[in-house]
Structure 1
Amino acid sequence: MGGSGAGGTNTGKRPNGHLASWFVRSGWSKGELARQVNRRARQMGAHHISTDTSRVRRWLDGEQPREPIPRILSELFSERFGSVVSIEDLGLRTAHQSPSVSGVDLPWAGPQTVALISEFSRSDLMLARRGFLGTSLALAAGPALVEPMQRWLVPIPSGDPGGPEIEPVASHRPSKLSGPELELLESTTAMFRQWDAQCGGGLRRKAVVGQLHEVTDLLQETQPEATARRLFRCAAELAELAGWMSYDVGLQPNAQKYFVLALHAAKEAGDKPLGSYILSSMSRQMIHLGRPDDALELIHLAQYGSRDCATPRTQAMLYAMEARAYANTGQPGKCKRAVRMAEDAFSDAGLDSEPEPDWIRFFTEAELNAENAHSYRDLAYVAGRSPTYASLAEPLMRRAVDLFEKDDEHQRSYALNLIGMATVHLLKKEPEQSTALAQQALKVARKVRSERVNTRLRKTVDTAARDFGDVAGVAELTDLLTAQLPESAEAV
């Protein structure tokens, strides 16, 4: 029978219909779910967990399991369905958690931000096993995610005798950090970003996390205010990049936590445009996880927070992400308007004499076309595989593919847009063209370390096999994919 951690309290009322619904849809047997729970518990270090089929039956009958079982079940079902399945969705009670434990509702103060980034990055480096850094780490969604992020807009207390007391980010020894050393840290971050775009998130993730941890060490030394701001900006960029790489290799809870910590660091740096960029990354993750309403709230928060300081290129990127969110919520009119706004803002990019930050350099003409094409493609799916929206997506996607093909620095984007173009041809019932593009994408996918690319390619080929399995090229591609693309990418 189950150990102490697998047990719980029986409500004595009625079966858990919510959990039963998710369980039936998963296709798992009770034994398989029990084995997965035990395996996940061991990965988390919860070795006292030992559950079996009879215990799973009790959960379905209404027994409330103790922590960390509810969190494990939430993770397993979220991964199974590719979207956030919360503890509450499973009909399980969630224990009250303090802000420091809940994952995203963290104190907005410099010393706490430094301490949290330091602790989380150190744990990631030490454990580095599928992103499980203890029982407290889980995906947040809905108001539990959006409401804490809204505090990004609240000014940091300064000299307010009635406000909270905030200690300076300092220690007992003075800083020996020189200007050239600061510039080297910043250029190293740009180099990591370039490697990520070219090779995928799986190649240098640990190196980025290690660099982030080093920056937090510097922030614990006494620093002049200007130096501290630059270090916080560097920490924000590294944390966002660590989150992006985690997202790319499938470590979704890790990714979200890094994004949240990055937003806190950006606030300490006083960098609103960078904060808006981090929120756009969080928005993209929510779209990926099937939470477009959350994505829309996050992108609106990003737009509002940077409305008076974002460059035209950054504004264009935010409008393009807004279009993606509107597409996935099934609002074609608002989606089309956001697409036009993105195009208009991008036409002003480069006219400003002020240099733009490195983190927005990725948003080129190719990326603009790619985002807008994916918005129309997503609309086509939401509208029941509409050929009209697929036709709107096709020329934009083709332009993106042509531009990325010539860009050696953004091979992951090239692969993703080849796959996107393949999905457009499937929507237009053109399996031969789709198969040819998927084969091209497979060649690129084998060169980059991106589980996101691999997963999208597998899903596209699975869709082709389901809808056009009698086409010879589709069957050949299915066999080729099985032989050449590993089932999972190991995050490093």
Structure 2
Amino acid sequence: MAEPNLLLEALLARAGISHAGLAKQVNIRSADLRLRYDHASVARWIRDHAIPRDPAPELICRIIAERLGNDVTLADIGMVRGEATDRLPSLAAAVEQGAALWHGDSRGRVPSRIFTGAKAAAPVFEWENPPEDDLIARLGERRVDTADVAMLRRARTHFQEMYRRVGGMPVRPRITALLTQRAAPLLRASYDNALGRQLYRAVGGLAALAGVCAYDANQQPLAQRHLFTALRLAKASGDRQFGAYVVALLANQALYLEERRLVVQYAESALRAGGPSLSPALVTDLHALAGKAYARMGDARASHPHLRTSATIAANLGQHHGHDEVSYVQPGLIETQLAEALRRLDDLPAARIYAEESVRTAGSTHLRGQVHRYAGLALILTAQGELDRGVHVAERMLDRADGMDSGRLHDRVAHVTRALRPHAGEPVVAAYLERADEYLYLKES
């Protein structure tokens, strides 16, 4: 199934050209060839990513360029044929691709294919390695000022809090609207190198959060593209800590998709590229992700060194970690990660110690994080045969999940429910299953 041509759709919207208007102009400019395109033809070019026969693609470039007042290439409209479509874009082209993604997302046109293998690794390799973006200053119709950057930063903080309260599904449309209407025009505006780096950093933070929200809504191809965009913006910003954070998000998604080797590759790249500049909070999370990936492979020998490193660093963490994005590493989070890894390695006693500590400190985090902590402990207690306490903990998990529109929390509740279902003959379990099934049904309907 072909993915929509988001580049063409976004450029047409920016130029103010309708589908019918584009088709008419192409027909007029190729009258000698008697081409007969209409609005449905343009819709198909976008929906199916179809490329019309020559000379239509070049004519489309010319028509849009005349309206925008700048050059437009075949790559800009997404109509390059063959292997050239896989070439990594320049920063300017990456900005336009990001803007097209945000515009498409806001209109319900989203990617349908997840990248794996070399294509999934390439953006991280490009972030980690030269060349750097030494000159990002540009001239535009208006000048960006520090107030614009501050507005974007405040918006990210606001949307992050919304996400933690209600889940990613209702929040992402607000983020993509802001990226489309405010952030993309700012990236095309005028700024010097120093302010430009701040701008890329601020927009990248919003793009990363859009990826988190798409991940939470189980729109994995879309989440991956948002995170790749955020990573490219992170490289332009020159902020290695932020880039490593985005790579950690990609690693977390890869773990969910059971791309375990990719998780390790991502974590190692982030640790290597960030080096001593990375905050301890991010370092401990990256080691925990690698440890979890090895645990899912059943490789205890490779997993334990990462888990030990993560636990040692976590024990010395303070409350504040410097960067807003890394604020998710709150007391008890790493214990939750370690408990899951040890449960996968079938070391239930050790897993339980960490899980109980994560629940003990749950009050210091948001409700969303508490759901994951209670779910982890419930799974361990159930595996140990302590059904009464396992159900009690599972009930507290449901209390906190209620009212959140989140695919990931739905998955956690479903996982605990599957673990308890074989014990449905026990009255306490049956009562929990009735409530959990109602929750899952309402979230699926």
The TM-score normalised by the length of structure 1 is: 0.70
- Cα distance in 1 for partners of 2:427, 2:176 equals 45
- What does 1:248-263 correspond to in 2, within 5 Å? 248-263=216-231
- Cα distance in 1 for partners of 2:349, 2:133 equals 54
Indicate which of 104, 115, 118 corresponds to 2:99. Answer: 118
Name the structure 2 match of 1:84.
none
Aligned-residue offset at 1:489: 5.8
Name the structure 1 match of 2:436.
481
- Cα distance in 2 for partners of 1:376, 1:158 equals 42
Aligned-residue offset at 1:179: 2.2
- Any conservation in 2 of the 1:282–1:298 contact (CA below 8 Å)? yes
Check 1:451–1:183 CA distance in 2 against 1; reply closer, same or farther (3 A cut): same
Alpha-carbon deviations, 1:368-417, whole Å to 9, x = none? Answer: 2111112212222xxxxxxxx1111112111111212x23x511110111
Check 1:471–1:351 CA distance in 2 against 1; reply closer, same or farther (3 A cut): closer
Check 1:45–1:348 CA distance in 2 against 1; reply closer, same or farther (3 A cut): same
Name the structure 2 match of 1:57.
none
- In structure 1, the residue corresponding to 2:250 is in which secondary structure? helix
Name the structure 1 match of 2:150.
183
- Any conservation in 2 of the 1:422–1:437 contact (CA below 8 Å)? yes
Q: In the alignment, does 2:172 pair up with 1:205?
A: yes
- Cα distance in 2 for partners of 1:256, 1:363 equals 22
Aligned-residue offset at 1:469: 2.8
- Cα distance in 1 for partners of 2:216, 2:264 equals 21
Alpha-carbon deviations, 1:177-203, whole Å to 9, x = none? Answer: 332332232122122222222332123
Name the structure 2 match of 1:195.
162
Name the structure 2 match of 1:395.
353
**AA at the equivalent of 1:399:** E
Q: In the alignment, does 2:308 pair up with 1:340?
A: yes
- What does 1:402-481 correspond to in 2, within 5 Å? 402-404=360-362, 406-407=363-364, 410-465=366-421, 467-481=422-436
Name the structure 2 match of 1:145.
120
Indicate which of 354, 371, 374 corresponds to 2:337. Answer: 371
- In structure 1, the residue corresponding to 2:357 is in which secondary structure? helix
Aligned-residue offset at 1:169: 6.0
Aligned-residue offset at 1:118: 0.5
Flag structure 2 segments of 5+ consecutive residues without an equivalent.
3-43, 49-80
Indicate which of 188, 193, 202 corresponds to 1:220. Answer: 188
Check 1:480–1:209 CA distance in 2 against 1; reply closer, same or farther (3 A cut): same
- Any conservation in 1 of the 2:335–2:355 contact (CA below 8 Å)? yes
Q: Which has the higher helix share?
A: 2
- Cα distance in 2 for partners of 1:201, 1:351 equals 25
Name the structure 1 match of 2:295.
327
**AA at the equivalent of 1:216:** A
- In structure 2, the residue corresponding to 1:308 is in which secondary structure? helix
Name the structure 1 match of 2:14.
none
- In structure 1, the residue corresponding to 2:276 is in which secondary structure? coil
Counting aligned pairs with the same residue, the percent is 19
Name the structure 1 match of 2:272.
304
- Any conservation in 1 of the 2:405–2:443 contact (CA below 8 Å)? no
- Cα distance in 1 for partners of 2:268, 2:84 equals 24
- Cα distance in 1 for partners of 2:376, 2:137 equals 46
- Any conservation in 1 of the 2:149–2:202 contact (CA below 8 Å)? no
Name the structure 2 match of 1:74.
none
Name the structure 1 match of 2:38.
none
- Cα distance in 2 for partners of 1:454, 1:106 equals 36
**AA at the equivalent of 1:152:** W
Aligned-residue offset at 1:229: 0.6
- Cα distance in 1 for partners of 2:344, 2:210 equals 27
- Any conservation in 1 of the 2:137–2:192 contact (CA below 8 Å)? no
Aligned-residue offset at 1:158: 6.4
**AA at the equivalent of 1:360:** V
Flag structure 1 segments of 5+ consecutive residues without an equivalent.
6-41, 47-95, 160-165, 381-388
- Any conservation in 1 of the 2:139–2:191 contact (CA below 8 Å)? no
Name the structure 1 match of 2:324.
358
- Any conservation in 2 of the 1:169–1:219 contact (CA below 8 Å)? no
- Any conservation in 1 of the 2:127–2:235 contact (CA below 8 Å)? yes
- Cα distance in 2 for partners of 1:145, 1:241 equals 19
- Any conservation in 2 of the 1:243–1:254 contact (CA below 8 Å)? yes
**AA at the equivalent of 1:480:** R
Check 1:188–1:477 CA distance in 2 against 1; reply closer, same or farther (3 A cut): same
Name the structure 2 match of 1:92.
none
- Any conservation in 2 of the 1:287–1:328 contact (CA below 8 Å)? no
- Any conservation in 1 of the 2:176–2:210 contact (CA below 8 Å)? yes
Aligned-residue offset at 1:97: 6.1
The TM-score normalised by the length of structure 2 is: 0.77
- What does 1:267-286 correspond to in 2, within 5 Å? 267-286=235-254
- Cα distance in 1 for partners of 2:84, 2:312 equals 41
Aligned-residue offset at 1:350: 4.3
Aligned-residue offset at 1:351: 10
- Any conservation in 2 of the 1:313–1:363 contact (CA below 8 Å)? yes
- In structure 2, the residue corresponding to 1:413 is in which secondary structure? helix
- What does 1:282-297 correspond to in 2, within 5 Å? 282-297=250-265
- Any conservation in 2 of the 1:311–1:349 contact (CA below 8 Å)? no
- Cα distance in 2 for partners of 1:435, 1:403 equals 20
- Any conservation in 2 of the 1:369–1:400 contact (CA below 8 Å)? yes
Aligned-residue offset at 1:245: 0.8
- What does 1:238-253 correspond to in 2, within 5 Å? 238-253=206-221
- Any conservation in 2 of the 1:170–1:219 contact (CA below 8 Å)? no
- Cα distance in 1 for partners of 2:271, 2:348 equals 28
Check 1:416–1:98 CA distance in 2 against 1; reply closer, same or farther (3 A cut): farther
- Any conservation in 2 of the 1:451–1:489 contact (CA below 8 Å)? no
Alpha-carbon deviations, 1:261-292, whole Å to 9, x = none? Answer: 11111001111111111111111111111121
